[in-house]
Structure 1
Amino acid sequence: MKLINMGMDIFKKEPNLVKIPEPVVVVGDIHGQYYDLVHMLNKAGDPSKLNYLFLGDYVDRGIFGLECMMLLVAIKLNYPKKFVLLRGNHESRNMTESFTFREEVIQRFDNQVYDAFMELFDSLPISCVVDDKYLAMHGGISPDLNLIEEINSVNRFQEIPLEGLFCDLMWADPMKDENAKHGDFSDNPERECSNYFGKKPVKKLLKANKLMSIFRGHQVQVDGFKMHRWGNKDSFPYVITIFSAPNYCGYFDNKGSILILDEGNLQLKQ
């Protein structure tokens, strides 16, 4: 409980939209895969020498969500300015009750510890600007978002709602490539909330905020990442999806990737 409360004290002081400079390692979904998380940290580098940005979904599905959270919070306490943990859609009461994290915590501790974790999740920031060039979140963009500063107007200290800007930052997905080239926003029946977004609103948001691209997680990828270029194979991607849990759920046979931004260069490591 002490570690949870100490972490919460730090997260509560952070804005909804945090900022972090390069060099930075961007990490996608972890989903309780503790040994893969440790391997990734060892491979990526010492957090005292570079920055880390995690895009959320630390728990559920994998069996070591507790260990993942305790390790990440412990590192955050040691490097509070260099280690950014964003909230994902699974950092919520609804998802942890539907999947595995609530049961994992209660079997080993009790409801009081589970409730403390939920309060910790409510305190996590929900978006990040990386090196003043990239916008990062767990899910995606929203029709309610025009200027990124509007993210700071959200009340994040609550359960994730089923609609609106906060919901979309946690839940939205890019359209499939064939639809995205001319796509705007559309309903997202797969998620039963939020939206699909296409090239048009992404391009508009990036231009209005003088940004280059969007980093997000939320979707398993065979190669551990996907560059959403939407119509031009040689162009800089409008969106980059990063997924860091290899062999997700034990049967997807996907790779896990991280993204490293250093001296303006992007490098993906599997």
Structure 2
Amino acid sequence: MSFDVDTWIELVKDCKYIPENDFKQLCEKVSEIFLEESNVQFVSTPVTVCGDIHGQFYDLEELFRTGGQVADTKYVFLGDFVDRGYYSLETLTRLLLLKLKYSDRIVLLRGNHETRQITQVYGFYDECISKYGNANAWRYCCKVFDLMTVAALIDGQILCVHGGLSPEINTLDQIRTIDRNQEIPHKGAFCDLVWSDPEDLDSGYGTKAWNISPRGAGWLFGKQVVDEFIHINDLKLICRAHQLVQEGYKYMFDDTLITVWSAPNYCYRCGNIAAILEINSVSSKNTKLFNAVPDNERKTPPRNMSPYFL
């Protein structure tokens, strides 16, 4: 069967995955698109920014019901598409198919979970083995992960990254020079962009600009760092994900940074709301909240599947 993107888009909507050979073709076709994208991919408004998804397929569909389908709404996803949820494979397949069909309407940034090492620990590798019977699909995905871009710039003034800032990066041009086609290193600028977190460093952490992150990678950074970065690069806002927020979103540092979280009832037990951020212009933004899809409207895999989030 020749690869028919519209046929597969319709099939995958029902939380199904596609045959291995077709999946390989999908990864190859999407890789060609990613190769053309800049490390700092320019995006114009209006656009909707989404946080972590983590394999929660049915909640991704609720996100699209809340924000609009990709044919009608332009999206930036901030990474962490896989791991922890039951349906990482179907979730990633859904997003890659949309990227293939609507390449200029959806930007997929790389998160700290889009790596070989992390996916072998938090579920995606095991899920690929369980569903395909081998690790080929996982290997195809890892090559795709290596090509995903690391940042988006909305109207030249809103920077989107998965995690945060880095002491090694003062300008957007320094992000543009990163060699992203690799496994994310354990330290350095590339690592920091996907691992770092904002923190009020005046309360309990002292007033240093950077502090050691309890995650073991990246840094904690405070308002001083954000203010300087925004001033140097003529920005208005930094959008990032990476941290669970019970209310779905959280502004910090006089509204110069926002965390967006788009996995409701994270790990099927955290009870949080999810959010997406609609950006109509640099000065006009609107958060939309949504809840997890009720249990009776989602399939739960059989118990012999790996318990990914233990």
* Contact in 2 for aligned 1:183/1:199 (Cα 8 Å): no
The amino acid that maps onto 1:90 is: H
Partner of 2:145: 121
How has the CA–CA distance of structure 1 residues 181 and 85 changed in structure 2, closer, same or farther, with 3 Å as cutoff?
Answer: farther
Does residue 162 (structure 1) correspond to residue 181 (structure 2)? The answer is no
The CA deviation at 1:181 is 9.6
The CA deviation at 1:174 is 0.6
Partner of 1:91: 114
Paired residue for 1:265, among 273, 284, 287?
A: 284
* Contact in 1 for aligned 2:201/2:209 (Cα 8 Å): no
Q: Distance in 1 between matches of 2:33 and 2:202?
A: 43
TM-score normalized by the length of structure 1: 0.94
The CA deviation at 1:50 is 3.0
* Bigger Cα Rg: 2
* Contact in 1 for aligned 2:66/2:288 (Cα 8 Å): no
The amino acid that maps onto 2:278 is: I
Q: Distance in 2 between matches of 1:111 and 1:227?
A: 40
The CA deviation at 1:247 is 0.5
Identity %: 36
Partner of 1:187: 212
Q: Distance in 1 between matches of 2:221 and 2:69?
A: 36
* Contact in 2 for aligned 1:175/1:183 (Cα 8 Å): no
The amino acid that maps onto 2:105 is: K
Partner of 1:232: none
* Contact in 1 for aligned 2:201/2:221 (Cα 8 Å): no
| Ranges in structure 1 where 5+ consecutive residues have no aligned partner | 230-234
Q: Distance in 2 between matches of 1:134 and 1:181?
A: 28
Q: Distance in 2 between matches of 1:63 and 1:149?
A: 38
The amino acid that maps onto 1:148 is: L
Q: Distance in 1 between matches of 2:49 and 2:97?
A: 18
The CA deviation at 1:182 is 4.5
Aligned length: 263
RMSD value, Cα: 1.4
Runs of 4+ in 1 over 3 A off after TM superposition: 176-183
String of CA shifts for 1:187-243, please: whole Å, max 9, x gaps: 11x2111110001111011001100110000000010111113xxxxx4x1210000
| Ranges in structure 2 where 5+ consecutive residues have no aligned partner | 1-23, 290-310
Paired residue for 1:197, among 212, 218, 221?
A: 221
* Contact in 2 for aligned 1:133/1:211 (Cα 8 Å): yes
The amino acid that maps onto 1:248 is: Y
**1:1-270 map, 5 Å:** 1-109=24-132, 110-176=134-200, 178-179=202-203, 182-188=207-213, 190-229=214-253, 235=254, 237-263=255-281, 264-270=283-289
TM-score normalized by the length of structure 2: 0.82
The CA deviation at 1:251 is 1.4
The CA deviation at 1:130 is 1.0
